[in-house]
Structure 1
Amino acid sequence: MQRAVLGYLLLHANQVVPTSRILRALWDGQPPLTARKMVQNAVSAIRRMLAAGSDSSAMLLTHPPGYRLQVDPDAVDIHHFRRLVDQGRTALAAGSLGRGTSLLREALALWHGRALADLVERGTSWSELVAMENERLLALEDCFDAELECGRHREITPELEVLTESEPLRERLCMQFMLALYRSGRQADALTVYRRTRAALVDDLGIEPGRELQRLQHMILEHDMSIQAPMLVA
């Protein structure tokens, strides 16, 4: 209970989170009669923990209609991650591929599995966690685009293979994997990835692949020169 309350407050650090919202999150909209007291007990325990810790700036404040966890944003990984991702994307937009990729990789290195994985394993399902996972995947996709532009298709192929297995419906990842395989001289494997992704989209969502993914398949079939690996200058 303490970890769940703390985790939810950290997801909304430095914001007032109403108690009613905490109750809905922790019990999926069906809190028991003792739920409010359980949250109060957890808050008291978290305050004792913070008081005994080394970071005196972190405080859990009662702020009607709920609580506010006051903490340095950079002490929370997700805020540190977002700042690095923003810096990385800014560098990429300015044409600094090396620096942009490095910053994105630094941001992604903060992740060690899914956010609040222990709570998720126990059945916790919060929209905030889904959104955070999507942020991570978007940052990865931006990083892969930059690395493909840098000619690092062979280096990222193993990582893309794992990700497309776990995220079979993300067409952008599929396109990146297909492109990495094709540029590595593996045209047949790239087309196999397309067929696998199309089957997943049709079976799970009842839709055909998007226009960009279909176009990439045709370009691979035709050995279109525009999708060849970039020429790198030493």
Structure 2
Amino acid sequence: MQISLLGPFEITTDDGRTFAPNAPKLCRLLTVLALQPREAVATGTLIRELWGEDAPAGATRTLQTHIYHARRMLTDMQVTAAERQLLATQAPGYRIDVEDDEVDVCRFERLVQRAQGDLAEGDPQRAAGDLKQALSLWRGPVLSNFPTGDVLIGQAARLEELKIHALELRAETELRLGRHREFLPELRSLVNSHPLHEWFHGQLITALHRSGRRAEALQAYQNLYRILKRELGLAPSAELQRLQAQILSAAGPEQLLPLRLRIDHRPWALSTAVPATAIAG
């Protein structure tokens, strides 16, 4: 089976059938469990996701009812060819017995982590393949077909941040491979989608200059300047100002210093574990 969270919540059976459960509480319950495959999630965490800080009296018993309905739903869907108990009771709560490869979030994180390692070791070609696979798993905004509770709001924000990190790595990879001209359309899209992300603007400016489009590179800097002034009352960072100065000094494209990600120094924190503060209770 496959549990898809990077977009609308969906479950795909072993024989290729896809289901999108229409019960929001069951979706939320299964999602929290799927983010920690084969690990017990505390009852308190599941209750907080379903009801927030105002859990009703008897919430534990109601949660047991939701678990029962989730088990029935999975059985009725016949999600796996082999008989197996997918939802198990395990102190301090419940666990879902699926493999990491059966959850798209886990596959995404593994591929991005591997790509970061490849890039740190000087193998952008392999990193490019891993990142292409990783980003292809995204089908839209995370968990977009049901309202999320307190626990999943934080998890969704975390996943969106990790997607941005994957996009940073992809841009870094493509430009290290010298694909400045080919990657321009995607850089323009990234700048449009993330207008306050200065590093994406810097990569667009660099790629334009290295493609022999000096005037457009300077115009891209002015666009960033206007956005930051209008939205935040700020000027571009000192690093971006130095980049502009290099272009204005008529430095050739080959002399332009790249805006490199600090791959070796960025902490890697892609664990899907629900934070301890969410598990308490």
Instruction: Report the count of equivalent residues.
Output: 227
Q: Whose RCO is larger (CA < 8 A, sep 6+)?
A: 2
1:109 aligns with 136
Pairing 1:54–2:83 present: no
Q: Which runs of 4+ in 1 moved over 4 A?
A: 32-38, 55-58, 202-207
Change (3 A) 1:27 1:167: farther
Question: Which of 160, 163, 176 is the aligned partner of 1:136?
Answer: 163
Question: Whole-Å Cα distance in 2 between the matches of residues 143 and 39 of structure 1?
Answer: 41
Question: Whole-Å Cα distance in 2 between the matches of residues 164 and 90 of structure 1?
Answer: 26
Question: Whole-Å Cα distance in 2 between the matches of residues 185 and 72 of structure 1?
Answer: 49
Pairing 1:21–2:50 present: no
Question: Whole-Å Cα distance in 1 between the matches of residues 57 and 225 of structure 2?
Answer: 48
Question: Whole-Å Cα distance in 1 between the matches of residues 117 and 56 of structure 2?
Answer: 47
Per-residue deviation, 1:166? 1.7
Q: After superposition, give the CA deviation of every residue in 1:80-107 in whole Å (9 maximum; x if it has no partner).
A: 1122222222222332222221111111
User: What's the % identity of the aligned pairs?
Assistant: 36
Per-residue deviation, 1:37? 4.9
SS in 1 for 2:88: strand
Runs of at least 5 residues in structure 1 that lack an aligned partner in the other structure: 230-234
2:200 aligns with 173
Runs of at least 5 residues in structure 2 that lack an aligned partner in the other structure: 1-24, 259-281
Question: Which of 31, 45, 68 is the aligned partner of 1:7?
Answer: 31
CA RMSD of aligned residues (A): 2.7
Change (3 A) 1:191 1:58: farther
Per-residue deviation, 1:212? 2.0
Q: Is the 8 A contact 1:13 1:73 kept in 2?
A: yes
2:241 aligns with 214
Question: Which of 67, 71, 85 is the aligned partner of 2:94?
Answer: 67
SS in 2 for 1:15: coil
More helix by share: 1
Question: Which of 222, 227, 234 is the aligned partner of 2:256?
Answer: 227
Q: Is the 8 A contact 2:100 2:107 kept in 1?
A: yes
Q: Is the 8 A contact 1:179 1:190 kept in 2?
A: yes
Q: After superposition, give the CA deviation of every residue in 1:19-46 in whole Å (9 maximum; x if it has no partner).
A: 2222323444334557545533332222
Stretch deviating more after TM superposition (164-173 or 178-187): 178-187
Under a length normalisation based on structure 1, what TM-score does the superposition of the two structures give?
A: 0.82
1:163 aligns with 190
